[in-house]
């Protein structure tokens, strides 16, 4: 049922994205397949620039993710490039419950090697995030590719229960997770045997980082008409800059929170409500730029 619902979402969004063209398209050969990605870089690439890899959700695709996340708007003004990879069968292999059994971890590893050799990317400042299944996949990369990625983010995607996962990470992991409490597809309170709750997902990494302090802030509710509000949970510890942040969007739905594209459908039963106090892309970019991979060496 979850997959059918997500496919319907993809068709629903298709009408607003079919004419959108990403800045440039490129291909790498991996595991005998041509794997596509789209990249959108800032104007000034004369010096090494940071990179965000932004993963689409299940049944979606790279151009759709570029459009509705609107990440380019915030990334470029901060001198950051963004790559939108294309998943096989419109999905990312999270080890459970998907039709995709591709070596997507290996693909991302090869993608990073390829783009850092071809473009003027600062390999010390590479970050990943994603929506829904793409957010779940970002959690997988936290376990599997923390040697190349400085910080991680998820919007509407929890930490999958995956017994086959290797997760022996020996460094602190910065994480920001944005999630609506009324998300009907990626339930905030978790799904038994499939994925952790949202708070359980972030607490897993707060514990890994040995973050023994937490503060909760209520973001000022300026746009009361949208029927949502935001609570910010910050996990931290003394003598470390590493943080795990959770932006809990009370009454928020399965949307890229703050996206103006989702505003077109924000009251539809399909997605649920959007929020206007925060913007996911801005929050992700601002969070990521606080960290370098060399901070953890």
- Range with the poorest average pLDDT among 94-108, 148-162, 208-222, 247-261: 94-108
The 213-218 sheet, strands edge to edge: 24-30, 33-40, 81-85, 49-55, 121-130, 151-155, 175-180, 244-250, 229-236, 213-218
Residue of 17, 23, 133 lying closest to 64 (CA atoms): 17
CA dist 47 and 236 (Å) reads: 32
Whether pLDDT at 14 is above 70: no
DSSP state, residue 46 = S
Q: Convert the pLDDT of each residue in 113-130 to its tens digit.
A: 999 999 999 999 999 999
Q: Which position has the higher pLDDT, 53 or 17?
A: 53
pLDDT at residue 97 is higher than 70: no
Cβ neighbours around 172 below 10 Å, total: 21
- Residues β-bridged to residue 34: 29
Q: What average pLDDT does the chain have? A: 91
Strands (E), the chain: 24-30, 33-40, 49-55, 81-85, 121-130, 151-155, 175-180, 213-218, 229-236, 244-250
* Domain with 153 in it: 2-296
Per-residue model confidence as pLDDT tens digits over 163-185: 778 898 999 999 999 999 999 99
When divided into structural domains, the chain yields a total of: 1
- The residue among 19 and 107 whose pLDDT is bigger is 107
CATH code where residue 38 lies = 3.40.50.1820
Band of the pLDDT at 4, cuts 50, 70, 90? very low
What pLDDT was estimated at residue 269?
61
Distance of alpha carbon 96 from alpha carbon 115, whole angstroms: 29
pLDDT digits (tens, 9 = 90+) for 41-83: 999 999 999 999 999 999 999 999 999 999 999 999 999 999 9
Give residue 157's pLDDT. Answer: 98
pLDDT digits (tens, 9 = 90+) for 177-231: 999 999 999 999 999 989 999 999 999 999 999 999 999 999 999 999 999 999 9
């Amino acid at each position: 049922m979850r997959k059918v619902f997500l496919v319907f979402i993809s068709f629903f969004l298709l009408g607003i994205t079919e004419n959108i063209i990403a800045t440039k398209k490129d291909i790498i050969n991996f595991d005998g397949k041509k794997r596509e990605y789209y990249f959108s870089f800032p104007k000034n690439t004369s010096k090494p620039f940071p990179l965000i890899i932004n993963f689409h959700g299940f049944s979606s695709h790279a151009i759709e993710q570029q459009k509705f996340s609107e990440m380019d708007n915030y990334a470029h003004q901060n001198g950051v490039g963004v790559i939108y990879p294309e998943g096989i069968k419109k999905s990312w292999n999270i080890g459970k419950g998907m039709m995709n059994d591709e070596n997507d971890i290996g693909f991302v590893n090869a993608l990073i090697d390829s783009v850092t050799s071809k473009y003027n990317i600062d390999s010390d400042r590479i970050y990943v995030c994603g929506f829904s299944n793409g957010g779940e996949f970002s959690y997988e990369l936290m376990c599997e590719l923390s040697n190349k990625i400085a910080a991680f983010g998820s919007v509407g995607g929890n930490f999958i229960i995956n017994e086959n996962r290797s997760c022996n990470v020996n460094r602190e992991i910065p994480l920001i997770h944005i999630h609506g409490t009324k998300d009907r597809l990626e339930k905030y309170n978790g799904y038994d045997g499939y994925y952790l709750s949202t708070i359980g997902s972030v607490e897993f990494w707060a514990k890994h980082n040995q973050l023994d302090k937490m503060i909760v802030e209520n973001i000022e509710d300026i746009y009361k008409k949208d029927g949502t509000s935001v609570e910010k949970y910050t996990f931290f510890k003394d003598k470390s800059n590493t943080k795990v942040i959770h932006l809990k969007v009370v009454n928020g739905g399965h949307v890229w929170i703050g996206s103006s594209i989702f505003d077109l459908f924000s009251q539809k039963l399909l997605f649920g409500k959007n929020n206007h106090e925060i913007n996911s892309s801005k929050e992700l970019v601002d969070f990521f730029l606080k960290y370098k991979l060399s901070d953890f060496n």
